[in-house]
Structure 1
Amino acid sequence: MLALTVAFALGAIVAGGVVFVVTRPSSIEQMADQIRAESALRDKTQIKTLTELARTTRDRLLPVLEGLNRVMPADGTAGPAAVTSGDVASWRKTADAAVESFADPPSGETATNVARSSLTSAVRQLATAVDTYATARELTGPAHETVLDLAARQRADALFTWSIGATALDAVNIDAGYGHQHVFLPAAPGDGVLTPDSEPEGNHNEHEGHHDS
C-alpha cells in the first residue's frame, strides 16, 4: 500500500510537471507579450501627445480660417476686400508652422497613425489653400475667380480631412481610456464634414457615431 501511495504521488508530481512544462509560456511568447505591453503603453503616450498637438494646432488655425472665411465665404458670395498682404503673410506663417509641427512623426499603432496622418494632410491642404489664395490676389478677371474658387475647394478639402482625423483621434482616445476628445475645426453647415458626437468631453462611453454637417 505504501509503495502504491508513493508511486501515485510520484506520478502526480511527474504529470504536474509535464503539464506545467507544456502550458508554461515560452520565452518567445513572454517576449511577445512584453513587446505588446510596451507598445500599448507607448501608444497611449503618443495619443495624449497627439491630442495636445491637435488642440494647439486647431486654436492656432482658427484665425486663419476666420480670415479665409471673410474673403471666401462658404456660401460662395463675394467676400469683402478687408484683408491686407500682411494678413495673408501671417496666415502663411501660421499654416507653415502647423505643417512643421506635424513633421517627422513617430511610428505608432495603426489607428493612431491614421489619426495623425489625416491631421497632417489637413494642415498641408490648408497651407496650400492659403498659398493659392495669395496667388489669386495677384490676378484679375476670370483668372482671379478661377484660382479663388480653387483656394475655396482646397480649404473645404482641408476641413473634411481634418474632421476625419479628429474622428479617428476621438476613437483612439476612448480606446486608450482618456474619454472623448473633440478636437474639430469649425465648418459651415452643409460642408459635409464629420462633426462631434453628443458625448461630453472626457466621457468614457463608446461614441454614438459622428455626423455630417
Structure 2
Amino acid sequence: MLALTVAFALGALVAGGVVFGMTRPDSIEQMADQIRAESALRDKTQIKTLTELARTTRDRLAPVLDGLDRAMPADGTAGPAVVTASDVETWRKAATAAVEGFADPPSGETATNVARSSLASAVRQIATTVDTYAAARDLTGVARTTAMGLAVRQRTDAFFTWSVGATALDAVNVDAGYGHQHVFLPTSSGEGELTPDTEPEGSHDS
C-alpha cells in the first residue's frame, strides 16, 4: 500500500512537471512580452511629449497665421493689412523655429509616427507659405497675383495636413489613456479640413 502511494505521488509530480513544462512561456515569449510592454510605455511618453510640442508649435505659429490671414485673403489678392519686411522676417523666424522643433524625430509606434509626420509636414508647408508670400511681395501684376494664389494654396494644404496630424494625435492620446487632445490650428476658412470632435478636452470615450 505504501509503495502504491509513493508511486502515485511520484506520478503526479512527474505529470505536473510535464504539464508545466508544456504550458509555461518560453524565454522568447517572455522576451517578446517584455519588449511589447517597454514599447507601449515608451510610446505613451512620446505621445505626451508630442502633444506638448504640438501645442507649443500651434501657439508659436498663431501670430504667423493671423498675419498671413490679414495680408493674404483666401482669394489670393493683397489684403488691406500693411505688412512690413520686419513682419515677414518675424514670421520666418517663428516658422523656422517650428520646423526645427520637429527635427530628429524619435521612432515610435506607427500611429504616433503618422501623427508626428503629418504635423511636421504641415509646419514645413507653413514655412514655405511664408517664403512664397515674401517672394510675391517683390512682384507686380499677373506674376504677383499668381504667386499670391500659390501661397494661399500652400497655406490651405498646410491647414489640411495639420488637421490630419491633429486628428491622429487625438486618437493616440485616447488610446494611451490621456483622453481627447484637440490641438488644431486656428483658421478662418476651415475648407476641406478635418475638425475636432465634440468630446470635451481630456475626456475619454464611453
Percent identity between the aligned chains?
80
1:74 touches 1:188 (CA, 8 Å); kept in 2?
no
Residue in structure 2 matched with residue 133 of structure 1 by the alignment: 133
Cα displacement (A) at 1:167? 0.3
Secondary structure of the equivalent of 2:83?
coil
Q: How many residues align?
A: 206
**Alignment-mate amino acid for residue 30 of structure 1:** Q
The one-character-per-residue Cα deviations of 1:171-191 (angstroms, maximum 9, x if unpaired) are 000011000000000223451
1:33 aligns with 2:33: yes
The one-character-per-residue Cα deviations of 1:145-168 (angstroms, maximum 9, x if unpaired) are 000000000000000000000000
Moved more, 37-46 or 188-197: 188-197
Distance in structure 1 (CA, Å) of the matches to 2:47 and 2:74: 32
Distance in structure 2 (CA, Å) of the matches to 1:76 and 1:142: 12
The one-character-per-residue Cα deviations of 1:105-144 (angstroms, maximum 9, x if unpaired) are 0000000000000000000000000000000000000000
1:163 touches 1:184 (CA, 8 Å); kept in 2?
yes
2:57 touches 2:98 (CA, 8 Å); kept in 1?
yes
Distance in structure 2 (CA, Å) of the matches to 1:197 and 1:119: 18
Q: In the superposition, relative to structure 1, how do residues 90 and 189 fare at CA in structure 2: closer, same or farther (>3 Å)? A: closer
Instruction: Tell me the TM-score normalized by structure 2.
Output: 0.96
**Alignment-mate amino acid for residue 71 of structure 1:** A
**Alignment-mate amino acid for residue 118 of structure 1:** S
**Alignment-mate amino acid for residue 5 of structure 2:** T
Distance in structure 1 (CA, Å) of the matches to 2:143 and 2:38: 55
1:164 touches 1:194 (CA, 8 Å); kept in 2?
yes
Secondary structure of the equivalent of 1:204?
coil
RMSD: 1.3
Secondary structure of the equivalent of 1:185?
coil
Residue in structure 2 matched with residue 22 of structure 1 by the alignment: 22
1:114 touches 1:165 (CA, 8 Å); kept in 2?
yes
Cα displacement (A) at 1:81? 4.3
Q: Which runs of 5+ in 2 are unaligned?
A: none
Cα displacement (A) at 1:28? 1.1
Distance in structure 2 (CA, Å) of the matches to 1:62 and 1:53: 14
**Alignment-mate amino acid for residue 9 of structure 1:** A
Distance in structure 2 (CA, Å) of the matches to 1:77 and 1:6: 97
Superposition pairs of residues 1-213 of structure 1, within 5 angstroms: 1-74=1-74, 78-205=78-205
Q: What stretches of structure 1 move > 2 A for 4+ residues in a row? A: 1-6, 74-78, 187-190
Moved more, 116-125 or 73-82: 73-82
Residue in structure 2 matched with residue 209 of structure 1 by the alignment: none
Q: Which runs of 5+ in 1 are unaligned?
A: 207-213
Distance in structure 1 (CA, Å) of the matches to 2:204 and 2:74: 34
Flag the structure with more relative contact order, 1 or 2, with Cα contacts below 8 A and sequence separation at least 6.
2
**Alignment-mate amino acid for residue 187 of structure 2:** A
Secondary structure of the equivalent of 1:186?
coil
